[in-house]
Amino acid sequence: MTTKITAAITAVGGYVPEYRLTNAELSTMVDTTDEWIRSRAGVEERRILKGEGKGTSDLAAPAVLDLCRARGIDPSEIDCLICATVTPDMAFPATANLICHKIGASNAWGFDLGAACSGFLFALTTGTALIESGRYQKVVVVGADKMSAIVDYTDRSTCILFGDGAGAVLLEPSTNGFGVLDANLKTDGAGGEFLHMKAGGSLKPASAATVAAGEHYIFQDGQPVFKAAVKSMADAAAELLERNQLTGDDIAWLVPHQANRRIIDATANRIGLPAEKVMLNINRYGNTTAATIPLCLWEWQKQLNKGDNLVLAAFGGGFTWGAVWVKWAI
């Protein structure tokens, strides 16, 4: 009988830029207040990548190097790198290729995956399949976004939410039952009209008119997005537990996408987890899109124990949503 190969997370890395954009500073840019932002979104500050000529790869590269140091490997040992992002350095080449070049991952192939705030979960599940195939030994999954590049800092409904950052995990084969054990992922393109960027794609190429109309920023119709997120993220996590005969008592941590405190609370309540078992750093980083979940793992890794059951859950533009069960291997 062949032993089942699972994809274990064997190292975590992270990076956030130094510059802190506080609510106080934001209130000088748009009509808002610290109290209003905290009560609506739970954000106190967010990190911003400053400087000319810097893109998402400049967030991701240090996160992956951090991961390599943690595992004691050279970047040349990486077989494949998947970058989840909606803010690629450019339309092509893939940001994954630029990351590999910057860190010296000369033997890796790689590609970008776009699923907005669910991007890390989708990329993690894809990387898991590569490991389970038996063909690859070291797959890096990095979630990275420079959201400040597509945020309209005159729109108080969105600019208060987003920040820049990157988080990465290394997947390696395990025969001990650790790693990514199940995933419940969903998409519904009907939700596209509520959360998108209007121009810059093949549907509406960039022009002087699209720039003048402010169509290269995030567009979000808040109410339908919030309503769908609360239900979908909680449903995905509950379905995942149910089909694996797990309850909240079996789960050490919920690792939720950091979009909004109220959405996170709804998911935790649905699967019966108290607040102390929920990773929460939205107050310090805001919504870093594909980077939120790996940044949580990076910050909490010292509190995680080998064998802990984690539920990773997200909701994002697309609509995309899902939940992943991970048995911690470190």
We report the CATH number of the domain holding residue 323 as: 3.40.47.10
**The residue to which tokens 């609360």 are assigned:** 230
- 136: in domain: yes
Across the range 8-32, mean pLDDT stands at 97
Q: What is the mean pLDDT of the chain?
A: 97
Query: What pLDDT band is residue 149 in, cutting at 50, 70 and 90?
Result: very high
Q: Which member of 68, 80, 83, 117 is catalytic? A: 117
- 50: in domain: yes
Final residue belonging to a domain, choices 136, 155, 177: 177
Who's near 135: CB < 8 A, 6+ residues apart? none
Final residue belonging to a domain, choices 177, 205, 224: 177
- 248: in domain: yes
Q: Which member of 23, 184, 260, 287 is catalytic? A: 287
- 34: in domain: yes
- Burial of 54: CB neighbours in 10 Å, binned 0-12, 13-18, 19+: middle
Phi and psi, residue 9, nearest 5°: -80, 115
Same domain, 14 and 153: yes
Three-class secondary structure assignment of 97-108:
HHHHHHHCCCCC
Number of domains within the chain:
2
**The residue to which tokens 């748009």 are assigned:** 30
pLDDT value for 1? 55
Same domain, 156 and 224: no
- 1: in domain: no
Domain carrying residue 95: 6-177
Same domain, 155 and 107: yes
Give yes or no for residue 2 having a pLDDT over 80: no
Q: Left, alpha or beta for 304 (phi > 0: left; psi -120 to 50: alpha)?
A: beta
- 239: in domain: yes
Same domain, 105 and 201: no
**The residue to which tokens 């239900």 are assigned:** 231
- 196: in domain: yes
pLDDT in tens, 197-219: 999 999 999 999 999 999 999 99
Same domain, 204 and 167: no
Across the range 225-236, mean pLDDT stands at 96
Same domain, 266 and 201: yes
Give me 179's structure tokens.
């790693």
Same domain, 157 and 217: no
Same domain, 165 and 294: no
257 catalytic? Reply is yes
Same domain, 173 and 246: no
Same domain, 158 and 63: yes
Query: What pLDDT band is residue 223 in, cutting at 50, 70 and 90?
Result: very high
Across the range 142-161, mean pLDDT stands at 96
Same domain, 158 and 295: no
- 111: in domain: yes
Give yes or no for residue 3 having a pLDDT over 90: no
Query: What pLDDT band is residue 254 in, cutting at 50, 70 and 90?
Result: very high
pLDDT in tens, 90-147: 999 999 999 999 999 999 999 999 999 999 999 999 999 999 999 999 999 999 999 9
Q: Which member of 23, 80, 97, 257 is catalytic? A: 257
Final residue belonging to a domain, choices 177, 210, 244: 177
260 catalytic? Reply is no
> Residue 104 CB: number of other CB atoms within 10 A?
15
Give yes or no for residue 257 having a pLDDT over 60: yes
Same domain, 108 and 136: yes
Element holding 286 (H helix, E strand): none
